[in-house]
Structure 1
Amino acid sequence: MGFQKYDPGTKIATVCMIAQLHSRASVCNTLGFSISCQSMDRWMQLYHATQRIFIKELLRCKPGLFLDKLQERLYDETNTLLSLTTLHRNLVENMEITLKKANTLNIKKSLVTKHDFIERMASVPAEYLVFTGEFFHLCSSFISSIADDLLQTFSRSPKGTQANRTIIDSNSTCFTLLPAIGFNGILAVTVTDDNVKGSNFGHFLKYSLLLQMNRYPDNNSVLVLDNAKVHIGEQVHWLCENAGVKIVFLPTYTPELNPIEFCFSQVKLDLCCSQALVRCADPKWVIERTMYQVVSARLCQKLFNNAGYLCPDTLDDLNLHEFHFSE
């Protein structure tokens, strides 16, 4: 059979009918042309390639689109109406695009500042670094542990019935975890039911953390902090200067450079799984005990390496596959 030229309208109509699951014979009878299987296959390949490009670009710009909105935009662009089931199947099976919990990025995050920090820290041994921070996310969750943060997101129940969970104490006492970690593990931990302010943080430095640190340059001699207000007061600088400890501030909105953030995630996951705080007599002790049990020297070393700091070459097997982190 020789080459036959078809007008664009015929090609579009053919593609639309095939996408709507019409048979080849039905397409040919409806349009009045004897269209070969090779032509139909070629047009469908071009259609799918164009459709993939459109969908990928659309989801790159608006990754949070619901399926019905994506269906509508696809129809406006290609004049093809796909069912939500078919659209979902194409996304997953053909384009390998899946739905997942979105990672929140702050628009004020500066990659220039981040890479400048990485360059400055490239020659600083990981053994020198100490990270500290406050886990305010545990407030109002610790006393009952039946608040949102420490509950499992999913539960099981018989088919056709709703899975429920009960809040024991909706006005629970607030607790804040304030630890510090070095390359070889935890240096200091405190748990308080007060909001951490400049005076509280200064007390933690003076009577807990700085006693475990050394004068710069030495192991545990560089205190790495984020830009929270409680970290930038004059008292913090005065205490560290008197102790011979150097202060380094992380770039804003870069939790990936702060290993202690992942430690918080491990502690939260352990408390969520064990539900150890349910009706416990001493929640402060439970929180502190969990911190020491979960945050091992091995975990700290892997987190320091994963964050890109200068770790010793003697360490082996530095992947994080054995650990699981809560969201």
Structure 2
Amino acid sequence: MSRFLSNELNNLEAYVPGEQPKDVKYIKLNTNESPYPPSPKVIEAINKLAVEGLNLYSDPDTRELTLSLAKFYSVKPEQIFVGNGSDEVLAFIFRAFFDKERKGCFPDITYGFYKVYAKSFGIDANQIPLRDDFTIDINNYINCGRNIIIANPNAPTGLVLSHEEIIKILKTNTDRVVVIDEAYVDFGSKSCIDLINSNHNLIVVQTFSKSRSLAGGRIGYAIASEEIIEDLNKIKFSFSPYNINSLSSIAGIASVKDEAYFHECNKKVIRTRERVKEEFRKLGFKVLDTKTNFVFVSHEDMAAREYHKKIRENGVLTRYYDEARIDNYVRITIGTDEEMNEVMKITEKILIEFASLGKVI
């Protein structure tokens, strides 16, 4: 690093994204992308814009995309903020509502960017341990006196808090913002968007990256009270007014309008996930009861690091976390049925090879 880097950021540990290899063709199940392409209507809209509108700046208000989302979720357009992926939305939330007086908290095992943002913005943030079974103990958040951020479903565990549990957290922290990050909500859990009008401290964050097959489009959004959205826009227009490019915006609009395709793809992912969970269990794996587009698995006879390495050698990318408490688990994105059939075949082969060697790794 250079000698010019700010002292405050000198010891910053950056977020490490999932591997994006260019050299070899893998079954890529390490970054929770959708295995399905975007809606055909998205492709049609992008092709049209590519020859008609890229000479002009994108709409800084993302008006049409905001209107589409407002209609889809039955909220006011003024209750929606759109960002360059949910990561940017989360960064703006940290910048707007967290400071030295308004401290934060989130689980110790969760999306890694929360810790990075807290460090980046100089925020005192408690990392509250999950229970031994990786569930969140809401008693740690009731009347906690801090801003709260919870991924629901959580990552990388895939586990979910109920509406009732979230309401208890909201009602006992009315002077603090409660951020519910719903990146995976469309794969079988219930959104908290219906709680926004009765809880003005709630911010719900979602993304187009997972359930809408637009990870490369970089579109995320927050839904909250009009006052909170006004605050976020103030931050945005002080930093990056044209944060959503025209191609992403038009793709997002087309995606939201094609509800049938959206629901069809999510149902396929859920169906495959439930089948795969049972197949992993039959092979002796512990599988958490995920409500996401991934599974989090552990095997008593084989270290997760070794399984991650072996399955990669057989052409499958997964995500391994070399972190305390979860270093014996591997996260595997749900791919197509054909891809997951291959994963199960390779996994069974790996287990047979170890058994034949009489090894417990």
Query: If the length of structure 2 is used for normalisation, what is the TM-score?
Result: 0.22
Q: Which has the higher helix share?
A: 1
Q: Which has the higher strand share?
A: 2
Q: Which has the larger radius of gyration?
A: 1
